[in-house]
Amino acid sequence: MNTVGSAKPWLGKFVSLAALWGASFLFMRLAGQEFGAVPTAGVRVAIAALFLLPLLLWRGLGSQLTAHWKKVFFIGLFNSAFPFACFSYALLSISTGLSAILNATVPLFGALVAWVWLKDRPHGLRIAGLLLGFAGVALLTWDKASFKPDANGLSSAWAIMACLLACLSYGISASFAKRHLGGLPSLVTATGSQIGAAIGLAVPTWWLWPQRMPGSGAWLALLALGVLCTGIAYILFFWLIENVGPARSLTVTFVVPVFALIYGTVFLQETISLWMLFCAAIIVCGTALSANLIRFRR
């Protein structure tokens, strides 16, 4: 068996997914400045739904979507609508790099929710990983969290809390999918969740629509968010889950901040401190331990 040749498709899709999800923070920042947080999330999921639905119908999976639409639409609220709105809000006042590093805590919250909800109690190094990961979050944010409003009337503390709430929402959706959506084709879950998120955000998006029509740059950022960072990214992510397993696919969360930091530095002139990199390393190590991705032999 040619292991090098067989690894190329997996590695290419893995890097592409990390690059796309890393770019989502940049595009949310660019679009959110003109659209606002909720309309940015609402238009994003609507574009993704319009992109994925024809693929679903082409694959002949429409009947499975209609059979499970309640559960799939519901998970879209926790897997897309709420977290996308939270991150769009956070990026109005904090850097893309900081928000991406906080996004790496998704497996930490996933382990906590699975512990409480599914009784999947972690043991040994997994508990140590949870403590290490959240300690890294505390170290990263303790000098950045301030409730004092900035020039735009926003505070970094609320932005950081929004990021963490988004990660908690991802953890809830993961446990819900594990309990109620097992065996359902990934494209059905991806498409249905985006439709459900679009329906859930329709009224808030209309209510909070900006009075001044956003420019072409903001629209292009949203188009990239919906098609590239959501539609195509979901296809790549579920391909990885089906072909290399969820554990290995989960490690993409650790690579996303690398691309987000690069994009933020190049396109937004954001600064990266050694302290941020140190805390990011702590969070990644703790997350890897809590997700049981690192094992030690006796």
Nearest of 29, 27, 12, 21 to residue 259 by alpha carbon: 21
> Is the predicted pLDDT of residue 23 greater than 70, yes or no?
yes
- Per-domain residue ranges for the chain? 11-290
Mean pLDDT of 180-200: 90
Choice among 41-50, 156-165, 242-251, 285-294 with the minimum mean pLDDT: 242-251
Mean pLDDT, rounded, for 56-63 = 94
Q: What is the DSSP letter of 286?
A: H
Kindly state the average pLDDT of the residues 178-199.
89
In this structure, the dihedral spanned by the alpha carbons of residues 248, 124, 278 and 165, taken in order and rounded to 10 degrees, is 70
User: Reduced to 3 states, what is the DSSP secondary structure of residue 103?
Assistant: helix
Residues 91/72/230/262 CA torsion (nearest 10 deg):
50
Handedness of CA 116, 134, 254, 251 (dihedral sign): negative
The per-residue pLDDT for 8 is 59
pLDDT, tens only, 245-283: 665 677 788 889 999 999 999 999 998 889 989 999 998
Mean residue pLDDT of the chain comes to 87
Whether 226 contacts 44, CB under 8 Å: yes
Each residue of 201-229: b (16+ CB within 10 Å) or e?
beebbeeeeeeeebeeebeebbbbbbbbb
Of 63-72, 176-185, 253-262, 265-274, minimum mean pLDDT range: 176-185
Cβ neighbour number for residue 144 with a 10 Å cutoff? 14
Identify the pLDDT of residue 74: 92
| Threshold 0.75, pTM exceeds | yes
Least confident range from 28-42, 170-184, 243-257: namely: 243-257
In tens, the pLDDT along 104-156 reads: 888 888 888 888 887 878 777 888 888 898 898 888 887 776 666 665 667 78
Using N-to-C axis directions, what is the helix angle for 3-35 and 233-244, rounded to 10°?
Answer: 150
* Range 5-9 average pLDDT: 55
